[in-house]
Chains A and B, each alone.
Chain A
Amino acid sequence: MPDLGGERAPGAPGRDVQGFRDLLPEEAEAMRATQEAVLAEMRRWGYRYVVTPTLESLDVLELGLGPEQRRRLFKLSDGDGSLLAVVGERTVPVARLAAGRLRTAELPLRLCYAGPVLTNDPGRFTRRREMHQVGAELVGASGAAADAEVIAMAVRCLDASGLRGYQVDVGHAEFFWGLLDGLAVPPHIRAGIKAALARRDFVALESLLASTPLRSAEHELLLRFPALRGGVEILEAAGALVQNRRSERALAELARVHGLLQAHGLGAAVSLDLGAIRDFDYYTGVIFEGYGPDLGRPLAQGGRYDGLLGRFGRPAPATGFVLHLDLVGELLQRSADAPQLTRLDAAVAWSGPGLEAALGLGGSLRMFGMRAVVDTRARSLAAARSWRRAVGATHLLHVAGAGAVDWVAGAEPRRRLGSEEVVSALAGSGAGR
């Protein structure tokens, strides 16, 4: 190895794989806390927790994903030459599970899951290739009540994560397909329109629509696609312009879902977005996205995918959503609402013959639900003060012998108490909660 003087040339191989990273305790604990809070909320709605494998057969994933998502999968080959892929999302694996091992379970099924997913997106700006998600799927229920349940639960999960100032946009995948059906254009133009919208390229869309002879109100709706957003009044405004059954049905469904969301007690957080464009091909009905303040990407995404289960041999309607924990964490970190995680309630130091008593004290504190670390070597009270700062404990307890404990809380002077008195004082002070 040439001596690089401790420096590494830019681009030279390091220990980190590009797009993957370690989460240090602060961030990892915060993410874990968010995940637990969200899963607990899902449990309150009656969703059962499942774990699906990290690797799936490529054939299985391809049943559910469009060409763009397939391209982004991390692929590898098995010993027998068959192709495997690391999951890039878990809706498809959960659909496989619901149609497979759970095929005899009565519908509707309410399932939730959490875990990392990988995308191998060679896009220039992708910094991360591993993302952490929590999701839920309601399998075997159709209709507005099921759509509203999943949207309302998603909003409550965002609440549970500690985020404030988010918003959820509800749209309908069929609204767009109806408009496209309604346009009297040759097939190649239709394909071009679909591709332009998928790229969110409204300049191309405009020139394609300009080249078609027949101009209708539906042209105008397509052109205004990114701005077709608002309250319940936009359903009426759009209803006056659409002239096809498919879009009309979509608007009627959205109106019902919107009404039920009011009954769920969600008013201000929910908007309607008729211009929702989604990357995943499997959505067939009501779709929604959650946005946080000043974050360029959606925090939560979900919707109805009635065609997916059938591809695994058990036709059933389904809807669900996923929450991106990395993005929620990024926002929480930025906001003042970040939950404060106490690192440690008590640092228990000892000197002389105090080790046995210190171990007993640590055990008692933990029994009361407090987080306590007992030092591994003897330390004077003075040395223990700086050790306590290093481990970030609220209280310092120092045991010099059996019976008596020196207690230092914050900047207060030390007090000498019996060990049982210390435990009840700390338990009464609210530590450990």
Chain B
Amino acid sequence: MISIAIPTGVLLEGSLGLLRRSGAADLDREEIGRKLLVDRGGLRVVLVRPADVPAYVDFGAADLGVAGKDSLWESPGSHYELVDLGFGACTLVLAVPAGSPITGAPETWPSTMRIATKYPAATQGHMRGLGQAVEVVRLHGSVELAPLVGLADAIVDLTASGRTLRENRLRVVAEVGRSTARLIANQASLKTRTTAIGELVARLRGAVR
């Protein structure tokens, strides 16, 4: 049996839609949310937290997984990243309080910028590429608060519409990365069950809108 790990949260609806359109499995939100693990038509679907999808796939507990690119930035692993699934689009941005002197022009940036984020690896990688020294404060939620109370000069956070940023009077100064949902695969699964996995991947690819 082939198994696929799909994430709770904003990518769940898109993942279920993809499985349905591809004909791989017809599951509704309530059923998978209640059981967490459903076997249907030769496919095992496992529901896990978004950040845990790469762990399930890298260790081979799931052959395939649907993961936001944002979670792959933070945990580069040994999986294959096969298909851009298109849904769950969002942008990782650098944002500052409305009154901050920091703008998109690097000459307005402090020599070392303190940045609060849930994405330390992506933040450090991007800023190093620009030659900007940073001090990264890793937070686990409500990142928008950090610059308002003086914890950080700026934040790096995901935004889909920009509404939360505006509500907290934050201004976007630069784009750090773009994320969509990706189909990832365990390296050994691809090698040991090439045909079965290949067929499912082709069906999922064909169902991408």
Contacts and interface: CB of A to CB of B under 8 A. Distances in A.
A125 B58 contact: yes
Given A125-B55, A297-B60, A203 B182 contact: yes
Nearest to A297: B188
A200 interface: yes
A203 B185 contact: no
A267 interface: no
A202 interface: yes
B189 A200 contact: no
A202 B80 contact: yes
Interface stretch (A288-296, A357-365, A404-412): A288-296
A15 B50 CA distance: 33
B188 A230 contact: no
Contacts of A123: 75-77
A227 B182 contact: no
Interface residues of B, number: 28
Contact of B186 (A167, A199, A203, A296): A296
Interface stretch (B4-12, B102-110, B190-198): B190-198
Contacts of A298: 187-188
A226 B188 contact: no
Given A229-B194, A230-B194, A291 B188 contact: yes
With a 10 A CB-CB cut-off, give which of A167, A293, A297 has the most chain B CB atoms.
A297
Interface string A341-356: 0000000000000000
Contacts of A294: 60
Interface stretch (B81-89, B122-130, B147-155, B157-165): B81-89
B196 to A, nearest CB: 12
A229 B192 CA distance: 10
Nearest to B189: A296
Interface residues of A, number: 25
Contact of A203 (B84, B187, B191, B194): B84
Nearest to A196: B81
B198 to A, nearest CB: 5
A201 interface: yes
Contacts of A291: 188, 191-192
A388 B74 CA distance: 53
B187 A296 contact: yes
Contacts of B78: 200, 296-297
Contacts of B83: 202-203
A226 B76 CA distance: 18
Contact of A227 (B74, B192, B198): B198
A199 B191 CA distance: 17
Interface in B1-28: none
B81 A125 contact: no
A295 B60 contact: yes
B60 A296 contact: yes
Contact of B185 (A206, A226, A230): A226
15 contacts: A123-B77, A200-B187, A202-B82, A203-B182, A204-B81, A226-B82, A227-B190, A227-B194, A295-B188, A296-B58, A296-B187, A296-B189, A297-B60, A297-B187, A297-B188
Q: Across the A-B interface, give the 3 residue pairs with the lowest CB-CB distance, nearest first.
A: A296-B60, A200-B80, A201-B81
Given A296-B59, A297-B187, 20 more contacts: A123-B75, A125-B54, A125-B55, A125-B75, A199-B81, A200-B81, A203-B83, A204-B81, A226-B185, A227-B198, A229-B191, A273-B191, A289-B191, A291-B188, A291-B191, A294-B60, A296-B58, A297-B60, A297-B78, A298-B188
